[in-house]
């Protein structure tokens, strides 16, 4: 059985960043990285792909070009983790041992988490930037009017702002193409507010009002009836939604049973329910009960596992009370690397702390973006340098340029190389 000093599960943003930083710090470290994919995707640009303003091919590169030199690429899928024997099982390679383990396989889409989703997705107007942003753009281009419904599940999702970003872009597209007066744009969410951080929510609420967008909180999607082009929601607030049954029911939603609302759609964009990979959920390293069930159990500041000190986790798979974004990983990776190296050298944890930083570049139209940066407890945490020049809680053209050109460049050339 092959054994590594440090074994990393996952060759996405988190795994590659950690591997690159480890190698830059200690070039002689023996590191293995388990990742089955040939391709590496820059998913933050998929919102722009879905709105026809970014080339999908430019979001895809060869994985081999980003595996750091000196790191063993185990081109295989992890299937089980046994923290007692310090081994990882794989689909084809067999068992691999480790002294220290970094868990970063990301999350997976659960297309069976909403009734009818698997059968309806990718056809007749049901689209998702999380799965196929090019089809989203096709749906938007062919949209002739009616209900454009944008929604998300009650599960945690990566980039929690993405379902509303494409909604703002679609609304802007319809306006620019003379279709807005024939269209109802609806954002339905299980959440209670448009955004959790007050400064940014204030801007977004103003946008929703000014652009005549229907905002539907407490709406959890439970079923897609593609034959009749209707989506069913469970309404989680007691009482009846004030928009239903009023004279201004232009979107033709109706209440069936006590808490179920049915809404017709002509375009439906949604984020599928998301979860940790099954081998994580079934492992002892995941929470077995409670609100974080299935996600990796780590200290939210040190990112060290709470039961197995030789294990660290970061990225989408970690049970952290913050948004699952690439920006969060950019702040998590240095903490994991610093604390892990300190543990390797001194047999005790380093003092580097992660405070929950994440960011959501909220594209609110073509050429407009709000840069929402925050940390644990929904506290605003804007970049000190940017904040001196811009009020990032407002819609700004320079932030759009950052999203479209700056961030992809930094991702491929700095983040994945362990330089930032």
Which residues participate in catalysis according to the annotation? 159, 360
Which residues neighbour 255 within 8 Å (Cβ) at sequence distance 6 or greater? 235, 240, 241, 244, 245, 261, 262
- 10 Å CB burial of residue 193 (0-12, 13-18, 19+) is middle
Q: Is 2 left (phi over 0), alpha (psi -120 to 50) or beta?
A: beta
Q: Rounded to a whole number, what is the distance in angstroms from the first to the last CA of the chain?
A: 35
CA pair distance 31, 18, nearest whole angstrom:
11
Q: Which pairing describes strands 78-82 and 87-90: parallel, antiparallel, or unpaired? A: antiparallel
DSSP-based helix, strand, coil % in the chain, nearest 5: 30, 30, 40
CA pair distance 139, 261, nearest whole angstrom:
24
- β-bridge partners, 261: 233, 255
CA pair distance 286, 99, nearest whole angstrom:
19
- β-bridge partners, 270: 151
- Which residue in this structure is represented by tokens 């990301």? 106
H or E stretch covering 329: helix 326-346
Q: How wide is the angle at C-alpha 228 spanned by C-alphas 222 and 232, nearest 5°?
A: 20
CA pair distance 329, 317, nearest whole angstrom:
11
Which of helix, strand or coil describes residue 418?
coil
| Beta strand residue intervals within 298-351, DSSP E | 311-313
- Closest Cα to residue 251, out of 201, 202, 190, 187? 187
């Amino acid at each position: 059985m092959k054994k590594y000093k440090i074994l990393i599960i996952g060759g996405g943003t988190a795994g590659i960043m950690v591997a690159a930083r480890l190698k830059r710090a200690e070039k002689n470290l023996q590191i293995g990285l388990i990742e089955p994919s040939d391709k590496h995707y820059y998913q933050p640009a998929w919102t722009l792909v879905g709105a026809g303003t970014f080339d999908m091919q430019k979001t895809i590169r060869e994985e081999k070009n980003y595996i750091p030199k000196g790191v063993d690429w185990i081109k295989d899928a992890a299937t089980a983790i046994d923290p007692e024997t310090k081994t990882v099982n794989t689909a084809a390679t067999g068992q691999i041992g480790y002294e220290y383990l970094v868990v970063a396989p990301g999350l997976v889409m659960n297309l069976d988490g909403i009734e009818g989703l698997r059968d309806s997705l990718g056809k007749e107007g049901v689209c998702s930037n999380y799965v196929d942003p090019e089809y989203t753009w096709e749906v938007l281009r062919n949209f002739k009017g009616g209900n454009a419904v944008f929604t998300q599940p009650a599960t945690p999702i990566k980039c929690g702002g993405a379902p509303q970003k494409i909604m703002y872009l679609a609304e802007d597209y319809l306006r620019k193409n003379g279709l807005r007066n024939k269209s109802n744009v609806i954002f339905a969410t299980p959440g209670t507010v448009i955004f959790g951080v007050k400064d940014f929510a204030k801007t977004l609420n103003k946008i929703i009002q000014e652009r005549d967008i229907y905002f539907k909180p407490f709406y959890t999607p439970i079923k897609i009836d593609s034959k009749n082009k209707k989506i069913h929601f469970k309404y989680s607030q007691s009482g009846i939604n004030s928009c239903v049954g009023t004279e201004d029911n232009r979107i033709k939603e109706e209440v069936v049973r006590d808490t179920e609302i049915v809404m017709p759609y002509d375009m439906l964009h949604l984020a599928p329910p998301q979860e940790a990979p099954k081998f994580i959920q079934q492992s002892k390293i995941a929470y077995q009960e409670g609100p974080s069930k299935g996600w990796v159990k780590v200290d939210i500041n040190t990112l060290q596992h709470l039961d197995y000190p030789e294990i660290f986790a970061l990225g989408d798979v970690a049970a952290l009370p913050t948004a699952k974004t690439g920006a969060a990983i950019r702040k998590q990776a240095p903490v994991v690397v610093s604390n892990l190296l300190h543990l390797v050298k001194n047999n005790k944890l380093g003092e580097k702390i992660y405070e929950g930083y994440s960011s959501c570049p909220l594209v609110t139209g073509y050429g407009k973006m709000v840069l929402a940066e925050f940390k644990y407890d929904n506290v605003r945490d804007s970049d000190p340098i940017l904040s001196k020049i811009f009020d990032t809680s407002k819609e700004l053209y320079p932030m759009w340029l950052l999203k479209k050109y700056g961030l992809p460049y930094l991702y491929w050339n700095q983040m994945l190389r362990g330089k930032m």
